[in-house]
Structure 1
């Protein structure tokens, strides 16, 4: 018997998906689990769902998931991320861009859903200088300790335009772009991703190919709300910035670059999340792994398993488990000349970390 690679980390399956491919998961303070399914070519019957008694139910209703020209701003077009804030609201980030198209006017939005009444409470839309024709809204974090109603921070993970962090004043709805096109929010030009032993590239049906390039994607916020961690999808690097600096519009974007801190390589990550002690959890999709980055910068691998086939979004539940979506994103047809290599089921997994999520309020 020859020696073989060692795998480690104890996790369990929470839910298996035999239909459309999920990207996002979040667990509310009461333990409710929400999932999102962006419209990337699968048969998506509803783009936001709740897991109820072992089944997927459209959330907050089927009507909210049915789009027509008359209700673009009040219904979900193609949702990339869902985030429960720990105080009764589900934040739904709608790309408004099915199949990575240019965002439909009024379709790209941040929606606040009241988890007590299961109704949409407020919709935040964006001006054309915030959501660009190239914008792909990817992930969001909220903090209620600043401003009158709090702030949201959103990553733009564009594949053909500038990456950025979008800052939203949740009282006024006013939003603006920060670190627009900066190195820290842009794909690493020298990054060559390798997944399952093969180079990951865009490979089209006509035989043409191009580099896999996606901008700022993963995002996490410190327990006190003062530090925002972020990373481009096409990169192995981790960055952070003071949220005070992000919100301070008197600091020009050029000067804002000096506020960015580089934390080193953590592996190539999709989603990230922070626990109440300030530890950042991040996937490493090249190595089927999950990393833990301590506040002092020390990094450790807490799970490494061949079944962790593209760890996507992370969430920490009140049960002190780390929940994460595994969706084989790299096996999609667009990376394999039109051949879909994904094998169902996709999965929602969890592992015990014995820490609660980072709070969003005092």
Structure 2
């Protein structure tokens, strides 16, 4: 006699926007006019262009193929290995280039933040970093922007290093001057007690030669409140959520060693890669251990809004003008570096969306 045993319940309604049969994507952003942009960091796949726009159900290199071709003469103006793309809601696409293919030491002048004008599809400005900001261990991960402070606004970038200090990098967009904050602080560092488990198995670095090491990445997910006054962040190797006032981050009179007293702890939200905020101040965060998406209300109450076996590593989030939450699912944990050189990923990777009935947080 066959008996149907009780099983785990899945919920949350989402739909497919785009399927990827080539390189693995990490980032997505939706502009205020509904344009969809994707990035593909160079982690070993055959990446023909590291930034793309989805146009008529095809991937087109953005802003051009030339901008995605690297040569020694155009290191600062071409895209090397882009980890994040963010449309600011005001006609600009911000491209965060790690300058570090395969997690190498960043190429000098290659790690940068690039502003692309979405009307002309031309690069408008490039922000590079000094050697005391982008360290040999730095991996630029994600960026949030606020144009209501300073003359040209500020950018906040996470350094998700796997072998050096994590940090939040603050950039004055008027002058290009940048500095590191919460450098090596507990809140930007991996949780050394975390034993991440994905698809029922412990996630750790498993090398071809049989050697293993813990999976530890520093500050990664980042989100900014609708008024620009609060920055939420989390290490990738952690289940904890933190926030800090952006005013404190910008205030250079506060020594970095004292900045930890301005950090607020919000509790466990699950282990997250991407995060984003809507116009009401709700934070959306992935939970890659549980194939889930969480919503954290401004009062700290957390709820799971999607739980589905197909959400295999929810990576970057974006909220479109259509009030959908867009997110990349890329099976990051199935990469060869976690399985003794065996690539367990199954194509296609996907861009999904679910209706949240809230617009994105404004930046201006």
* TM-score using structure 2 length: 0.99
Poorly superposed stretches of 4+, deviation over 6 Å: none
Deviation track 1:28-79 (CA, whole Å, cap 9, x = no partner) reads 0000000000000000000000000000000000000000000000000000
Deviation track 1:311-361 (CA, whole Å, cap 9, x = no partner) reads 000000000000000000000000000000000000000000000000001
Deviation at 1:189, TM superposition (A): 0.6
SS of the residue aligned with 2:53?
Answer: strand
Matched, 1:173 2:176: yes
Equivalent runs, 1:291-330 vs 2, <5 Å: 291-330=294-333
Q: Partners of 1:193 and 1:179 in 2: how far apart?
A: 24
Structure 1: where are the runs of 5+ without partners?
A: none
Q: Partners of 1:226 and 1:284 in 2: how far apart?
A: 25
Equivalent runs, 1:150-169 vs 2, <5 Å: 150-169=153-172
> How many residues in Structure 1 have an aligned counterpart in Structure 2?
361
Q: Partners of 1:202 and 1:121 in 2: how far apart?
A: 39
Q: Partners of 1:166 and 1:105 in 2: how far apart?
A: 17
Deviation at 1:254, TM superposition (A): 1.1
Q: Partners of 2:225 and 2:114 in 1: how far apart?
A: 23
RMSD, matched Cα: 0.2
Deviation at 1:122, TM superposition (A): 0.2
Structure 2: where are the runs of 5+ without partners?
A: none
SS of the residue aligned with 1:99?
Answer: helix
Of 190, 193, 197, the residue aligned with 1:190 is 193
Deviation at 1:261, TM superposition (A): 0.1
SS of the residue aligned with 2:322?
Answer: coil
Deviation at 1:103, TM superposition (A): 0.1
Of 49, 54, 59, the residue aligned with 2:52 is 49
Q: Partners of 2:269 and 2:145 in 1: how far apart?
A: 24
Deviation at 1:17, TM superposition (A): 0.0
Matched, 1:279 2:282: yes
Q: Partners of 1:332 and 1:298 in 2: how far apart?
A: 34
Q: Partners of 1:195 and 1:242 in 2: how far apart?
A: 32
Deviation at 1:5, TM superposition (A): 0.1
Q: Partners of 2:233 and 2:195 in 1: how far apart?
A: 19
